[in-house]
A and B are shown apart, each in its own frame.
Chain A
Amino acid sequence: MMRHLVPALALLLLPLVLASLAWDPTMLRAVWLRDPALARTILVELRLPRTVLAVLIGGALGLGGAAMQGLLRNPLASPDVLGPSTGASLGAVFAGYFLGGGVLAVAAGGMAGALVALALLLALAGPAAGTATLVLAGVAISALAGALVNLALSLAPSPYALYDVMFWLLGSLADRSLPQLAIAAPVIIVAGTLLLRQSRPLDRLALGEDVAETLGVDVARLRWTVVVATGVMVGAGVAVAGSIGFVGLVVPHLVRPLVGNRPGATLLPATLAGAVLLVAADMAVRVPVNGQELKLGVLTALLGAPFFLWLVVKGR
């Protein structure tokens, strides 16, 4: 099972990606017959950034969740529960709406926000805090950042700003652009690669810090690497797509039993599973329900929240 998990997930991802690119093929075909250049624009300027961002951000959330759960040795750790995602929203909102920054500044603000939220979390809860302390600290940071996003957008000079609360707190991949992809992709790929290389040290950390140290793991360095890489990766994703909840929490739990419960071995399959989940969710939101399109974060929360509850019940 373990050996086949990664290829199986990759095989699952491929058709989903193609389906996302070629969404509504009848419409695409009609446009193609009428005006091939326009059909090309739809594919390159709309479908490509949307799909690739879904893969990258889904992967980043799955990977970030798996890495945080491994590092903190806590099943409830993930960017969306413990604050980095909302912190990234706050940073992006502040950079964009008040400092008048462009796409680059918004991305930088998102990353800074995620890092500050993570640093605050670790300072409050300590590196290996108990579940209750960690989750309490994370939920408090998340709630505070969410409230500040609301406040900031209420006070922003643009009369449209308040409409954007939904985007920043629920996320969306609709109408994303190539320039946004060009900003997020390199950051996510570099930070993600760095995180994936922490697989072995994370496995050893599961044996306890002292044992890990004797096995040659520099625990302090590992902690910094995971925190900074996760923060940067999540921040870049949030800056272009808002904070999308629950993917980072749920995905590692889905794949961990399939890899013998080793935190390090969870990283790669969690990345792929996160990508699969988000690409699928992003296609699902394009199907109107009752004449309305759902927000991405609503859908992932609908899938994720019951799972969260199940975790709580199982852990009692």
Chain B
Amino acid sequence: MKREARAGMGLAAMLAAAAAVASLPNLAPKSPPNVPLAFEAAPPPVRPQRVASLNLCTDELALLLASPGQLISVSRLGAEPNETPAAGRARGLARNRGRVTDIVALQPDLVLTSAGDASAATAARRLGFAVVNIVQPRTLADVSANIRQVARALDRVAAGEAVIARMLADLGPVPREMQTALMIGGGGQTIAADGLSAQWLRHAGLQQQQIARGQVNLDQLLAKPPQVLVVSRYYPGQMSAHQDWLAHPAIAALPANVRRIETDGRVWTCGGPLVAAEVARLRALVKR
């Protein structure tokens, strides 16, 4: 496995919903460029009553936006409390493994897919389902656009605007004073300095350091420590060499002027509206 593949793999694997994912997926945006989705933008004529979502990121949006009973199935990741804070809302819904075959028997009247897994959208359309395929967000504007797109498809436009309003309120303006930051997950995985996660972080007053190849080693970290080390907690307590890395004594031995704060690794996987509240929490921590 090449390292590039590993860095990008978070997103690919997650979007395929075939495996659980790294906490910091948007390290190397290698997805195809955003394709205009004009013919999908038109909402279905009536409010869909049986909506199935095939992907963690569409799960999160659907769980936030759907009216009670409207959503009938989410991916198994969307119902996994270790993967998303929205999992609590998925109680009682049918779980799928991200494949169209899993939901055919449920006879959904709308299928939500993510552009990271093109085959799911294609397969669902071929079977005659109405499909809304959201792009992988690269900017905060993309995040709002995705919310609007799903809200319109669900005939829940007002709910969509409410979610966006809350998101923007949580987010606030980019603070004037910025501190250098390094967001690290297991194994030293980090985020791109110009990626979506870094854009979110800026609203907390944190400027992500530029790290080549999306992974930092301890030599680099100690040689050039950031002002704030943002440690992503994701599936804590489970053994892996990745998690072990975070427990290396050299990280504990960083100078006292390097602040260490923890972040909920789950929200960064999709980088959707759930990040906003986490950013507000981080901003409050950083200000203190």
Q: Do A and B come from one complex?
A: yes
Quick one: which of A10-65 are within 8 Å of B by CB? 23-24, 27, 30-31, 35, 37-38, 41-42, 45-46
Bound-state Cα–Cα, A37 to B19, Å: 42
Query: Distance (Å) between the CB of A253 and the closest chain B CB?
Result: 31
Contact with B along A167-185 (1 / 0, CB 8 A): 1000000110111000000
Q: How many A-B residue pairs have CB under 8 A?
A: 94
Query: Is B227's beta carbon under 8 Å from chain A?
Result: no
B217: A residues at CB distance < 8 A: 174-175
A252: B residues at CB distance < 8 A: none
Query: Is B129's beta carbon under 8 Å from chain A?
Result: no
Interface centre among B186, B218, B219, B242 (most CB of A within 10 A): B219
Query: Is B105's beta carbon under 8 Å from chain A?
Result: no
Is the CB–CB distance between A163 and B239 below 8 Å? no
Query: Distance (Å) between the CB of A12 and the closest chain B CB?
Result: 25
Is the CB–CB distance between A163 and B250 below 8 Å? no
B48: A residues at CB distance < 8 A: none
Contact with A along B230-246 (1 / 0, CB 8 A): 00001100111111010
Cβ-neighbour of A158 out of B235, B248, B250 (below 8 A)? B235
Is the CB–CB distance between A159 and B249 below 8 Å? no
Is the CB–CB distance between B253 and A45 below 8 Å? yes
Query: Distance (Å) between the CB of A29 and the closest chain B CB?
Result: 11
Total interface residues in chain B, CB < 8 Å: 35
Would A175 and B223 be within 8 Å (CB), given that A161-B240, A163-B242 are in contact? no
Query: Is B222's beta carbon under 8 Å from chain A?
Result: yes
Is the CB–CB distance between B242 and A164 below 8 Å? yes
Would A162 and B19 be within 8 Å (CB), given that A45-B249, A46-B218, A292-B2 are in contact? yes
Is the CB–CB distance between A158 and B212 below 8 Å? no
Bound-state Cα–Cα, A46 to B1, Å: 25
Query: Is B97's beta carbon under 8 Å from chain A?
Result: no
Quick one: which of A115-173 are within 8 Å of B by CB? 156-167
Query: Distance (Å) between the CB of A238 and the closest chain B CB?
Result: 13
Query: Is A291's beta carbon under 8 Å from chain B?
Result: yes
Bound-state Cα–Cα, A101 to B239, Å: 8
Query: Distance (Å) between the CB of B151 and the closest chain A CB?
Result: 30
Bound-state Cα–Cα, A37 to B250, Å: 12
Query: Distance (Å) between the CB of B270 and the closest chain A CB?
Result: 15
Query: Is B29's beta carbon under 8 Å from chain A?
Result: no
Contact with A along B192-217 (1 / 0, CB 8 A): 00000000000000000000110001
A35: B residues at CB distance < 8 A: 255
Query: Is B85's beta carbon under 8 Å from chain A?
Result: no
Q: Which residue on chain A has the smallest CB distance to residue B82?
A: A159
A165: B residues at CB distance < 8 A: 1
A31: B residues at CB distance < 8 A: 222-223
Is the CB–CB distance between B255 and A160 below 8 Å? no
Is the CB–CB distance between A159 and B250 below 8 Å? no
Q: Which residue on chain A has the smallest CB distance to residue B77?
A: A159
Q: Which residue on chain B has the smallest CB distance to residue A31?
A: B223
Bound-state Cα–Cα, A101 to B186, Å: 18
Query: Is B6's beta carbon under 8 Å from chain A?
Result: yes
Quick one: which of B234-272 are within 8 Å of A by CB? 234-235, 238-243, 245, 248-250, 253-255
11 additional A-B residue pairs with CB within 8 Å, beyond A38-B222, A160-B242:
A37-B255, A41-B253, A41-B254, A158-B243, A159-B21, A161-B240, A162-B19, A163-B242, A167-B241, A175-B250, A179-B249
8 A-B residue pairings within 8 Å (CB atoms):
A45-B218, A45-B249, A156-B239, A159-B235, A160-B187, A163-B22, A163-B242, A175-B188
